[in-house]
Structure 1
Amino acid sequence: MILHTQASDGSPLFALENNMRVRMFDVSAPPSGCEYGSMDGFVASIESGQQFGVLVRIEDRPNPIIKVFSLIVAWIKLHLLRMKLLRKGEAIIALYGVYPTVEYPIAIYLLGMKAEKYSNQHVLPAFPAGVNGRIRQGVMAIIKFHPSVAGVIIVAQKK
């Protein structure tokens, strides 16, 4: 699959929307910069039966403590968003990881499947030796995705 990595329409989500063929909402975007204002407004604009994506960005920080904190916050956001979508009756189709950046992705892969295992082994950075690597492996065991991803996308289908 050829990934389009240029944000040619000026939207930071152009590459993701183009490659995944779904409209996308970034929960990290400020409400003033979004035409829908909120995720509820975005979901309301989707036609029944259509799929859509909700992006949760993961901050990339050089400080490992802040990085671990941002990963846990992202994991909590993902859980809360999934629960919110399910309560509204939307069907969760899949979760995707995005690497290395949301604007210019090299890999968009399905979490929890063989694609994730392949990406972890061949695309994403290996864990460093020592304590830092063990901490990352522990965090990965808790949050269920690689700590190097730039974001996780929830793909859902509107009822």
Structure 2
Amino acid sequence: MMKQKLTHWVRKEHKDLILKGGGKFMHRDRRLREKFEIKPEGFWLSVDNSWEDWIKGNWEDWMKGRVCVEAELVDDINLFVIKTKKQFLDKYYELTGKIPKGFLMNWHEFHEKMKEKYDGMMLLAEPFYKHRMDMGFMYFYGWDCESICVWNKKKIKFKEIRK
């Protein structure tokens, strides 16, 4: 079980559905997603207020119309935790059989293969901040901060934040 505080932001009108175990993550246009995808699709979780801290200085309007719910991962979640850039690139090669080549990497194929083996993925703060601005490798930059993306809905539970 993770010790960090995990949160997820949802539109106000979807909060009750999410808390009851319903709902789904929003899919972007499939044609665009397959061609330009750089982030996996799933339920995005903030780790110890990482998203909230990032949003305050970068995109405060994003929070309008949204509410925060607490998230909990089930004990048997199979989460791929990105600890280093090399480990991540090795996983890309292992799953796609392709040598990582900067912007030419096929993220959609990689994410589909990840979904076959894992319930989600976590990018730790250290590799994110160390490599987010690497030219020719912008994958970590797109995550904005340390966070978790869970695509297997059965491995996550949401509950209302008590004030």
User: Structures share a fold, TM > 0.5?
Assistant: no
Q: TM-score, normalised by structure 2?
A: 0.29
Q: TM-score, normalised by structure 1?
A: 0.29
